[in-house]
A and B are shown apart, each in its own frame.
Chain A
Amino acid sequence: MATKTIRVDLLTRVEGEGALDLQISDGRVTSVQLNIFEPPRFFEALLRGRGYAETPDIVARICGICPIAYQMSAVHAIENAFGVTVDGQLRSLRRLIYCGEWIESHALHVVMLHAPDFLGFPDAIRMAGEHGDIVRSGLALKKAGNELMRVLGGREIHPVNVKPGGFYRAPSRAELAPVAENLARAHELAVGLVRWVAAFPFPQFERDYEFVALRHPHEYPFNEGRLVSNRDIDIDIADYETQFEERHVEHSTALHSVVKRRGAYLVGPLARYALNFDRLPASVQALARESGLGAVCRNPFQSIIVRALEIVYACEEALRLIAAYEPPDLAALPVAPRAGIGFGCTEAPRGICWHRYEFDAEGTIRTARIVPPTSQNQPSIEADLAAVATSLLDQPDEFIRHRCEQTIRNYDPCISCSAHFLKLSVHRT
């Protein structure tokens, strides 16, 4: 029996530590394992016994790239448990700070981490020699997103201004004025970025994904909505555990999430876009069509276009929110703890981030459960890899290795978050 092994021992241009092991036997892909060896971080256990008010600052530490996702899911879960509804300008400020996170996270991935794959560069540093203007645009976009997070969150990494009920301090209109000026410029850069990535050479590859995302009656989703799929799922976020489960697999320190009845599903930009295209402004829809996309995109390599479109959307939405902003009377609504269970689910840049907390009467956490986006996408990443590798069996190992790494980067995986990521090994027999 002819066996071949292709291995990537340490995946680069992803957040965290992982590897890929691919087994090819008698001309078939027999095994694909995404080995996540980022150490377990035990955040759910760490949260037990801590007060509700501490939660946003603790969970922000899960990720330096997407701390807002964890903070937003946490505060919504806390408020859900304690019967508090945040609306008006405070709700708008939450959407606004989330815009900042999408802009900085997507810009980093699209320009610095993913684009080199399509243009044959080993990294953004080498790409900068030929595409300096684009790299400068990426840095400027990231800066604009960071600025939004800094003004609203106190700092861009692990922000400290988010609390249950709202914020410790609300910004003035004057503080947001220069942010809006930068966002207007960032919007122009983002439109240019969409057109640049849309012209990349994309592999002809599609899969019939089960997309899962939030869906809101009126908005492209950030913080609220029902949990829906393109199959038959349409549930309240509190019912997540009725449809989905996490399973431990030996080759990963991150749990794998599946739809109980069907298996792998996909969260993130492709899912949000497919399930919420009608919620995008006409300007972004038109830009998507100009870029060659329909209302649904099933080619994971084209996720780079969707991410760039989401940067454009986030810039537009942020500008809209700032234009309508009036400082609220209170930076935060009063929150009184009570015994209960609360659920939060928000759209992190990489997909839904689901939280469940059980509190005692004083608001102390009895149990916590956090399901990050990358762990939900792991089975889908492995299914993509098997399909991509199957189509490339006659290619040299180095070509397979590169395409597999690119396939993983389609997901912008955040391994640190999921370890709850990459070396690639291909074994041929």
Chain B
Amino acid sequence: MTGTGGQAAAPRKVLVIGLGNPDRGDDAVGAIVAQDLGGRLPADVPVFARRGDMLSLIEDWAGFDALVCVDAAAPLGDPGRIHRIDLRASTLTKQISLTSSHGLGLVEVIELASALHLEPREIIVYAIEGASFDNGTALTPAVATAARVVADRVLADVGRLQYASMVDVSDA
């Protein structure tokens, strides 16, 4: 809580976005986490599933204080491994390669938004290592298990982000 003389602060505006193509194997994991979170998040926390045009994300997160984003990551030999990246402390490019076949990917869009001061103050990215990105295939079992774990962790993050004060965030 901020020092507002004991008054409860209004919850911060938090957005959840799941990225990926639901028809390309483990690339679907972001969309599946978004689907899983439908109805489980607080009513004032929207959840979007997005694919394709990453630039539109800048429109999606306009006006939000915090963003939790879930995406598939390129295979590094450990399918289903969960990477949680808090962009206050880390940079995405040094952490892990998210999957994007061409154009601006999530990393570039966040960098662009940052250069234009259009990014949410706090961004947490969950990147889940995939194994197979073939057309028309289902999630591999390890990634499906990771999706359920990430959904629960996103719920916990949202609860913290909604009521963490700006002072708390910058001091964190």
Listed in ascending order, the chain A residues whose CB lies under 8 Å from chain B are 15-17, 64, 108, 112, 123-126, 128-129, 132, 135-136, 139, 142-143, 146, 156-157, 416
For B117, list chain A residues within 8 Å (CB): 132
**Known contacts being A124-B112, A125-B112, A128-B112, is A139 close to B55, with CB within 8 Å?**
yes
Interface residues of B in 1-55 (CB under 8 A from A): 52-53, 55
The chain B residue sitting closest to A156, CB to CB, is: B53
User: Within 8 Å CB of A156, what residues of B?
Assistant: 53, 56
Chain A residues with CB under 8 Å of B52's CB are 64, 157
B111 with A125: CB separation less than 8 A: yes
Task: Tell me the minimal C-beta distance from B104 to chain A in angstroms.
Answer: 8
Q: In the complex, A253 Cα to B58 Cα: how many Å? A: 34
Please give the residue numbers on chain B whose beta carbons come within 8 Å of chain A beta carbons, in ascending order: 52-53, 55-56, 58-59, 102-104, 108, 111-112, 115-118
Contact yes or no, B102 A143, CB < 8 A: no
Q: Which of A17, A139, A143, A157 is packed against the most chain B CB atoms within 10 Å?
A: A139
Question: By the criterion CB–CB under 8 Å, are B102 and A16 in contact?
Answer: yes
- Residues of the A chain whose Cβ atoms lie less than 8 Å from the Cβ of B59: 139, 143
Q: A135 to B118, alpha carbons, bound, how many Å? A: 12
13 A–B contacts, CB within 8 A, in A order = A15-B102, A16-B102, A108-B55, A112-B55, A125-B111, A125-B112, A126-B115, A132-B116, A135-B112, A136-B116, A139-B59, A143-B59, A146-B56
B53 and A139 form a contact (CB under 8 A): no
Closest A residue to B117 by beta carbon equals A132
Contacts of B103 in A (CB 8 A): 15
Q: Chain A residue with minimal CB distance to B112?
A: A125
User: Please, how many angstroms separate the alpha-carbon atoms of A123 and B115 in the complex?
Assistant: 12
Residues of B within 8 A of A146 (CB): 53, 56
Distance to closest chain B CB from A128 (angstroms): 4
A64 interface neighbour in B53, B58, B104, B118, Cβ under 8 Å: B53
Residues of A within 8 A of B116 (CB): 128, 132, 135-136, 139
Whether A125 and B55, one on each chain, are in contact in the complex, defined by CB atoms closer than 8 angstroms, is no
Provide the residues of chain B in CB contact with A124, threshold 8 Å. Answer: 112
Residue of B whose beta carbon sits closest to that of A136: B116
With a CB–CB cut-off of 8 A, which chain A residues contact B102? 15-17, 416
Smallest CB gap from A157: residue in B: B52
Nearest 5 Cβ contacts at the A-B interface: A128-B115, A157-B52, A125-B111, A125-B112, A129-B115
Q: Which residues of B lie under 8 Å from residue A112 when comparing CB positions? A: 55, 104
Nearest-neighbour CB distance to chain A for B49, whole angstroms, equals 13
**Shortest Cβ distance from A64 into B: residue:** B52
Q: Which residue of A lies closest to B110 (CB)?
A: A125
Interchain nearest-CB distance for A286 vs B (Å): 31
* Residue of A112, A126, A128, A146 with highest tally of chain B CB at under 10 A: A128
Q: Is the CB of B53 within 8 A of A125?
A: no
Q: A125-B108, A132-B115 are in contact. List 20 more A-B contacts (CB 8 A).
A: A17-B102, A64-B52, A64-B53, A112-B104, A123-B108, A124-B112, A125-B111, A125-B112, A126-B115, A128-B112, A128-B115, A129-B115, A135-B112, A139-B55, A139-B116, A143-B56, A146-B56, A156-B53, A156-B56, A157-B52
A126 to B114, CA, bound (A): 11
